[in-house]
Amino acid sequence: MLLSTVLQQGHSWLLGHDQDRLAAKEQAHYLTWLQRRAQGEPVAYIVGDKEFFGLTLAVSPDVLIPRPDTETLVEWAIELLTPASKQVLDLGTGSGAIALAIQHQCPQVKVTAVDASAPALATAQANAHRHHLDVRFVLGDWLTPVAGQRFDLIVSNPPYIAEHDPHLAALRHEPRQALTSGADGLDDIRHIVMQAPAHLQTGGWLLLEHGYDQAVAVTQLLASQGFSHVSTRFDLGGQPRCTGGQILI
């Protein structure tokens, strides 16, 4: 993948030219990238982009790398949007992956995307411009910058890893603030679940991505705040990955 990107050629071309020598500039570029990869830096950061739901998105260490499992959240969101749906909110948008995928698939809705990181929002805005998608971007902490506004659907892939989780070592190149959330990883999810009902239209939905072992806890949180029809969706590996509910009053 790295060599293909350096040479701007497809994999089949590489196989057909496996005896070709690299030019000096190409070799230097390739070796630099190999050294970065050998140190554990993700390929997406090295090449600068990542595919998500049919869109090529620019990524940098300012944003979490979009994962295929998050497409489960997007698919569920698209299923819930009706011809009457008008407003969608994406909390903690990062690269803009979720917001842009929904806007791309559902041009009839207006998507608002919030993030507390100005560099992350700049990346998301660049991705929106790249794909000519008219998403509204707002800087701020979770629901604070949309006070007084109501939405038909709120989606979020918030930080949900416990602060001392041993798996964090493998994610050291990604922004810590986009990964961890308190001792049990649920602090941000608690905050969103508590605040969301005041920002949803009657019949509106809240969908949350979470860790593979957090579905029961998130289900209980949603139920405690008056959400109905609470259910969980599973990711590509068969793990419970997203839980959501509907506000009926």
Distance CA 11, CA 2 (A): 10
Whole-angstrom CA distances from 231 to 17, 89, 109, 190, 248 are 51, 20, 24, 17, 15
Greater confidence (156 vs 170) lies with: 156
Distance from C-alpha of 78 to C-alpha of 200, rounded to nearest angstrom: 17
Over residues 165-208, the pLDDT tens digits come to 888 888 888 888 888 888 999 999 999 999 999 999 999 999 99
Instruction: Give the H or E element holding residue 34.
Output: helix 24-38
Model pLDDT for residues 101-122, shown as the tens digit of each residue:
999 999 999 999 999 999 999 9
Backbone angles phi, psi at 125, to 5 degrees: -65, -40
- Domains defined along the chain, listed by start: 2-39 (no CATH), 60-246 (3.40.50.150)
Q: How many angstroms separate the CA atoms of 63 and 22, rounded? A: 32
Q: Is the pLDDT of residue 148 over 90?
A: yes
Determine how β-strand 200-209 pairs with β-strand 151-156: parallel
- The Cα–Cα gap between 14 and 194 comes to 53
Give me the pLDDT at residue 11, please: 87
4-54 pLDDT, tens digit per residue, is: 999 998 889 989 988 899 999 999 999 999 999 999 999 999 999 999 999
